[in-house]
Amino acid sequence: MSEFQSVRGFHDLFGEDLKKFRHVSNLIREKLKLYNFEEIVIPVLEYLEVFQRSIGEATDIVQKEMFAFQDRKGRWIALRPEGTAGVVRAYVQNRLYALKPYAKLFYEGPMFRHERPQAGRYRQFHQIGAEVFGPLDPLVDAEMIQLVYEILSELNIKATIEVNSIGCKSCRPAYREALSLYLNALERRLCEVCLDRKGRNPLRVLDCKVPTCKEAVKDAPKMLDFLCKECGEHHFKLKEYLNTLSIPYRENPNLVRGLDYYTKTVFEAVSADMNITLIAGGRYDYLVEEMGGPPTPAVGFAVGLERLSMLFKEHVREEPLYMVVPFGDVLDYALFIAKVLRSEGKRVELSYRRGSLKKQLELANRLGVRYAVLVGEEEKAGGFYTLKDMETGEQLRVEFSPSL
């Protein structure tokens, strides 16, 4: 074991894993551009209040999972546990609402949560998130879910899209009350954590993974039965649009999400192979206003890049690799040929090992080279190179007139 280890839950990304990670990220970025999302780059650090106010004081993230510390002046700052809070802070601070009637923003980068590390769960992980500010129309919720569906389909990742509505300021309090009453009556069947949650954040009990709690909340009152007219219509319309788009989804009345800012629509894409959430999001119609901006409904989602990359099983295709293999005193010519080939857009490695042609071709094989570009005295004198296909063994003389 080497003397220095990375911090627990913080990982290095390289090789094949990184290729998959970049492939997944690029595919999502391309998709977001097709929907006309614009990128925003936000800081990794924010003042702690940004997260406390948006994600919610009573959430697990804020209570237990933040990397928070005091700066040299004694102000509390935190590594971002997610992107929405920072984007909303940036939207309000930079008055982005004044620029366009509505904004469609996306971001990508590392997030930090002090959770117990396990498969697909890290303390530093990466998200790509997308947020739409302005419209209240369920059409936008539908388009966000459509995006999620398209991302998963194009990556060939099997997942179930779960949808729910958790209502708004006018209808949720009555539901909370009904749920609290119900939970009080079955206190003895709840786990320790849920006993604590019950008072502060009763909705969270609904998605507890402990079997006894799951069983206990089976017959709990459902938010869907408490939705006000506006939320009910919103939810109905959303489902209608999803049907129009032929997007398969499952209505999960117990889906509540672990962040407090949500209103109305919430959704998650849950992996069919592993029981983990891959993409999650929803509406948050009050957050911009609560963070000091004008009343601005919003909806968004975030993709867990490690999780999607882990489940992406296809081989990432790359451009064929060329290797210029000099033999004899022709390094200047080899350098030149490599330059010419790269200027043609080819991926080119120049052999850094000297030795017999045989040794160098062995090296080329180990590096996964598809075409060896052989250059010796004869090639240099004649102004050509010999292209060797490493798969078929075929050789070809390629003429060109170098102007050294």
Angle between helices 229-244 and 138-154 (to 10 degrees): 40
Distance CA 302, CA 245 (A): 21
Taking the complex as a whole, how short is the minimal distance between the CB of residue 203 and ligand HAM, in angstroms?
A: 15
Distance CA 349, CA 342 (A): 9
Out of 129, 138, 167, 221, name the contact with ligand HAM by CB under 6 A.
129
Other C-beta atoms closer than 10 Å to the C-beta of 288 total 24
Distance CA 256, CA 313 (A): 30
Out of 171, 183, 302, 373, name the contact with ligand HAM by CB under 6 A.
302
Taking the complex as a whole, how short is the minimal distance between the CB of residue 90 and ligand HAM, in angstroms?
A: 14
Helix (H, G, I), strand (E, B) or coil at 338: helix
Residue 204, interface with ligand HAM (CB under 6 A)?
Answer: no
Distance CA 293, CA 22 (A): 35
Residue 56, interface with ligand HAM (CB under 6 A)?
Answer: no
Residue 131, interface with ligand HAM (CB under 6 A)?
Answer: yes
Out of 23, 113, 204, 235, name the contact with ligand HAM by CB under 6 A.
113
Which segment (81-89, 227-235, 244-252, 314-322) binds ligand HAM by CB under 6 A? Answer: 81-89
Residue 86, interface with ligand HAM (CB under 6 A)?
Answer: no
Looking at the Cβ atoms of 109 and 232, the one nearer to ligand HAM is 109
Distance CA 356, CA 375 (A): 13
Out of 52, 54, 59, 84, name the contact with ligand HAM by CB under 6 A.
84
Residue 143, interface with ligand HAM (CB under 6 A)?
Answer: no
Residues 331-390 that bind ligand HAM (CB under 6 A): none
Out of 221, 282, 293, 326, name the contact with ligand HAM by CB under 6 A.
282
Distance CA 241, CA 371 (A): 51
In terms of DSSP H, where are the helices of 186-272? 192-200, 211-216, 229-244
Distance CA 253, CA 217 (A): 11
Residue 21, interface with ligand HAM (CB under 6 A)?
Answer: no
Out of 59, 127, 201, 296, name the contact with ligand HAM by CB under 6 A.
127
Closest listed residue to residue 311, CA positions, set 263, 277, 346, 348: 277
Number of residues that bind ligand HAM (CB under 6 A): 24
Distance CA 63, CA 51 (A): 11
Out of 23, 234, 307, 380, name the contact with ligand HAM by CB under 6 A.
307
